[in-house]
Amino acid sequence: MPTLQESLLVAASVKRVYGFLADIERVRDWLPYVVDARRTSEVTSGPGAEIELEVSAAGRTSKGTTRCVAAVPSQQLVYETKLALGLTSTVTFDLAPEGRSQTRMDVTVEYGFTGLGRLLGGLLGDKAARRDIVAGLESLKAHIESEAAASRSRRRPTAEPAASQFPKR
């Protein structure tokens, strides 16, 4: 199985990054080729959480499933995906704090093709797979950082006007 590894620094706490990734349905928010995703399990996050998804790849749409197979809170999440077009993958997100408010996210993607997917894999190759994975991770980073920035701005106290700024009566 080919393996791709990427590492990025995200300007958000480990807790926020983990929470975003653990919400399995949010994959449609950041993975560009996911057309639709809906939870099919009773479990909302962590091992056993599962979604049905529809993806658009190489000009075709394909349905499949993604499920969380392992989780260590605020440290690691592992997802397995199987698509009808013949792609299977295991994605591992390893998280570690970096400084006060950043997270190092190391991502390992193991993938393989079966049946018709072998032809598709041969046509697309590792270069296209890496491009799509990197685009997804950059989108993921942007979404998390945007939410973290919005949260920080909501928490900032607004300055109260000094007493001298009020008109005297």
Give the start-to-end residue ranges of the domains of the chain: 3-150
Q: What is the mean pLDDT of residues 156-169?
A: 52
Closest CA to 141 of 34, 31, 54: 31
**pLDDT above 70 coverage of the chain, percent:** 82
Give the pLDDT band (50/70/90) at residue 168. Answer: low
pLDDT at 141: 93
DSSP β-ladder status, 50-57 and 34-39: antiparallel
- Enter the DSSP assignment of 84: T
Ramachandran assignment for 59, one of left (phi > 0), alpha (psi -120 to 50 degrees), beta (any other): left
What does the pLDDT read at residue 103?
Answer: 97
DSSP state of 12: S
> Residue 57's beta-bridge partner residues?
60
| Domain 3-150, CATH class in plain words | alpha beta
The structure tokens 């193991």 sit at 110
For the record, the structure tokens of 25 come out as: 């349905």
Q: What is the pLDDT of residue 3?
A: 87
pLDDT averaged over every residue in the chain? 85
pLDDT digits (tens, 9 = 90+) for 8-46: 999 999 999 999 999 999 998 888 889 999 999 999 999
How many residues would you count in the chain?
Answer: 169
Contacts of residue 46, Cβ cutoff 8 Å, sequence gap at least 6: 22, 68, 71
The average pLDDT across 90-100 equals 95
Angle between helices 116-155 and 14-22 (to 10 degrees): 130
pTM for this prediction: 0.83
* pLDDT confidence of residue 120: 52
85 confidence band (pLDDT: 50, 70, 90)? confident
